[in-house]
């Protein structure tokens, strides 16, 4: 219990430290990267250098990541300020999102299939790979969803 | 951070945070029951309900946003925390190597360009066009990136969620039309184009599909959030 709390605090401090370091770096060096993204890259580097930090970070970060959706609520409600702009461009936005998302989904799946299958072909000494993967998916056809964001 | 906590500690801060969390809790329960339907994403229910309460209680939206500012502030740390899933997928990324990275990048380039082109054809305002460029990546990164390039972060959040829901709903039929049968490639496309909502959908298609989707989500998120501001910082003198 005590150790759990201590881990949580260490992990949270690490994440926050990376966040503030990232925002500071981005704003003080004029780096064209969002501060939080710089913080992400720093935390990633920390994880690679000190792999033992992973459970600590997980302790603090996992609940936050699992419930990320609720954090967007104030931001999303901010669109009310842009209501007229959205309404005026409703058709264009609708088409841009619905149709192009479908096309992009198809195209990128197609590209992935081409590229990954050439990779499979390279590894043709072990052709069982793809079959095994298919079997696994068949077995797990119905599986309960968990994380939603 | 101090200011966000101060705002949360006021009466209206406590009330609005409680209302938001309460609706989110209901939204989660609905999502758990109807997890097969991407439209049951908890953010959709929560945002609509809270929006209605704010509207009917005659509260100014800016007042709500200030009161619930703690949630908004947490977006920064949660973006940093995305390093964790990326770190955990690293082995798999190394295993598939360049072909995987190239296919994720291809999807990450095709999706925003097509969406932007549609808006450009319709002559939409430039701020909306710019916002659309970030629509395929996970919400916190999309908001950061769109703010950086002169888009509208609030709008980015809405575009991103809508894209995810559309992608997750349409995925099965699209893969049939495009005749893509390899499930891992489907996972890559879902994560790359439809980010976290697509990844949630891929969970029902198998663990390895979900892992590929997570990779698509992570790699494309970072790739787009790095490349977009870079491109625009070079272009900006001419804009």
A60-88 tens-digit pLDDT? 998 888 888 888 888 888 888 888 888 88
Residue A58 placed within a domain:
yes
Q: Residue A121 above 60 pLDDT?
A: no
B210 C-beta neighbours (distance < 10 Å), count = 24
Per-residue burial over A43-74, b if 16 or more Cβ lie within 10 Å, else e, is bbebbeeeeebbebbbbbbeebbebbbbbbbb
Predicted TM-score of the model (pTM): 0.79
Round to whole Å and give the CA distance between B153 and B62. 15
CB contact under 8 A, B110 and A104: yes
Residues A101 and A48 in one domain: no
Instruction: Mention every residue, 6+ apart, whose C-beta is less than 8 A from residue B90.
Output: none
Extended beta strands in A1-149, E state: none
Extended beta strands in chain B, E state: none
Round to whole Å and give the CA distance between B49 and B56. 11
Confidence at A135, pLDDT banded by 50, 70, 90? very low
**Closest Cα in chain A, distance from residue B18 (Å):** 12
Residues A11 and A35 in one domain: yes
Residues A85 and A36 in one domain: no
Residues A21 and A54 in one domain: yes
Residue A76 placed within a domain:
no
Counting the structural domains of chain A, the total is 2
CB contact under 8 A, A109 and B174: yes
Name the closest residue on chain B to residue A88, using Cα atoms: B124
Residue A75 placed within a domain:
no
What percent of chain A lies above the pLDDT cut of 90? Answer: 38
CB contact under 8 A, A73 and B50: yes
Name the closest residue on chain B to residue A54, using Cα atoms: B84
B124 C-beta neighbours (distance < 10 Å), count = 21
Q: How far is CA A12 from CA A1, A54, B84, B98, in A?
A: 16, 12, 13, 34
Contact B196, B136 (CB under 8 A): no
**Closest Cα in chain A, distance from residue B126 (Å):** 11
Round to whole Å and give the CA distance between B192 and B136. 7
A15-55 tens-digit pLDDT? 999 999 999 998 898 888 888 889 999 999 999 999 999 99
Using alpha carbons, select from B133, B84, B93 the residue that is nearest to residue B216.
B93
Mean pLDDT for B28-46 is 88
CB contact under 8 A, A43 and B81: yes
B187-237 tens-digit pLDDT? 999 989 988 888 877 877 777 888 888 888 888 888 888 888 888 888 765
Round to whole Å and give the CA distance between B192 and B213. 7
Instruction: Mention every residue, 6+ apart, whose C-beta is less than 8 A from residue B95.
Output: none
**Full residue range of the structural domain in which residue A59 is found:** 1-65
Chain A with chain B: Cβ pairs closer than 8 A: 365
Q: How far is CA A14 from CA A45, A117, B8, B101, B131, in A?
A: 12, 40, 23, 29, 31
Residue A146 placed within a domain:
no
Q: What pLDDT is attached to residue A128?
A: 41
**Closest Cα in chain A, distance from residue B9 (Å):** 17
Round to whole Å and give the CA distance between B42 and B26. 8
């Amino acid at each position: 219990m005590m150790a759990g709390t201590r881990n949580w605090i260490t992990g949270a401090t690490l994440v926050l430290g990376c966040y503030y370091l990232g925002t500071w770096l981005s704003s003080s060096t004029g780096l064209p990267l969002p501060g939080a993204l710089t913080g992400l890259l720093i935390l990633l580097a920390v994880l690679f250098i000190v792999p033992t930090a992973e459970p600590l970070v997980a302790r603090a970060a996992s609940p936050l990541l699992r419930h990320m959706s609720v954090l967007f609520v104030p931001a999303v409600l901010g669109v009310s300020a842009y209501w007229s702009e959205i309404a005026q461009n409703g058709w264009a936005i609708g088409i841009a999102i619905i149709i192009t998302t479908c096309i992009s989904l198809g195209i990128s799946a197609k590209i992935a299939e081409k590229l990954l299958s050439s990779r499979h072909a390279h590894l043709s000494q072990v052709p069982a790979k793809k079959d095994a993967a298919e079997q696994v998916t068949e077995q797990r056809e119905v599986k309960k969803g968990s994380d939603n964001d | 951070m101090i200011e966000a906590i101060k705002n949360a500690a006021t009466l209206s801060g406590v009330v609005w945070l409680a209302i938001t969390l309460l609706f989110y809790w209901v939204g989660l329960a609905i999502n758990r029951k109807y997890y097969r339907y991407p439209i049951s994403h908890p953010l959709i229910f929560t945002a609509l309900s809270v929006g209605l309460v704010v509207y009917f209680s005659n509260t100014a939206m800016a007042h709500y946003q200030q009161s619930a500012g703690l949630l908004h502030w947490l977006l920064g740390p949660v973006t940093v925390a995305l390093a964790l899933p990326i770190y955990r997928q690293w082995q798999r990324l190394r295993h598939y190597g360049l072909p995987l990275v190239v296919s994720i990048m291809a999807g990450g380039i095709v999706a925003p360009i097509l969406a932007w082109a549609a808006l450009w054809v319709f002559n939409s305002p430039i701020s909306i066009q710019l916002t659309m460029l970030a629509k395929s990546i996970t919400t916190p990164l999309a908001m950061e990136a769109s703010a950086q390039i002169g888009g509208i972060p609030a709008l980015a959040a809405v575009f991103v969620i809508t894209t995810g829901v559309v992608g997750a709903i349409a995925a099965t039929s699209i893969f049939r039309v495009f005749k893509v049968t390899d499930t891992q490639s489907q996972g890559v496309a879902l994560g790359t184009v439809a980010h976290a909502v697509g990844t949630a959908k891929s969970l029902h298609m198998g663990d390895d599909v979900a892992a590929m989707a997570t990779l698509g989500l992570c790699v494309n998120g970072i790739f787009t959030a790095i490349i977009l501001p870079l491109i625009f910082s070079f272009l900006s003198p001419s804009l």
